[in-house]
Structure 1
Amino acid sequence: REEIRERERRREREREDEREGEREREERERGERERRERGREEVEREERGEKREIEKRERERERRRERREERERERERKREEREREREREERERERERERERGRVVSDQW
């Protein structure tokens, strides 16, 4: 259940990234049309500001992706830790059962 929820969250984040990429592609295309339609100098002045905005969004998206990957690594580490703990407890229970069996056998003699 946890894995399914995580997969769904990951898919949603991927869809979100795709939508954002699509919006940026549309913005670039719109900019190209505007450049053809208006005076080049004016467009270039605007673009410098827009370019900084786009770079800022790209950096933010990259930071979000890194944080997301870090959270995923942390979740995986914790999951592995829980798994090792379960295995250790199971081995302990098995040793306890073996000791009990040994006692039962020696009591029968």
Structure 2
Amino acid sequence: MNKIIAALVAATFSMGAFAQAASAPAPAKEAKPAAAKAEKKAKAKKAKAAKKAASAS
């Protein structure tokens, strides 16, 4: 009898913990594609090199 009561108490606590943790996750922001990020980085690098070349002249 004690084992049954212990199992019921444990089940009650575990269900309570599950009910609290079962919320839906927040929607994530859309991530920019890696290609667009790399293109932007290359563009900035090219602009920096052009600025450096213009100031050296």
Which TM class, normalised by the smaller chain length?
0.3 to 0.5
Query: What TM-score, normalized to structure 2?
Result: 0.44
Q: Identify, as 1 or 2, the structure richer in helix.
A: 1
Query: What TM-score, normalized to structure 1?
Result: 0.23
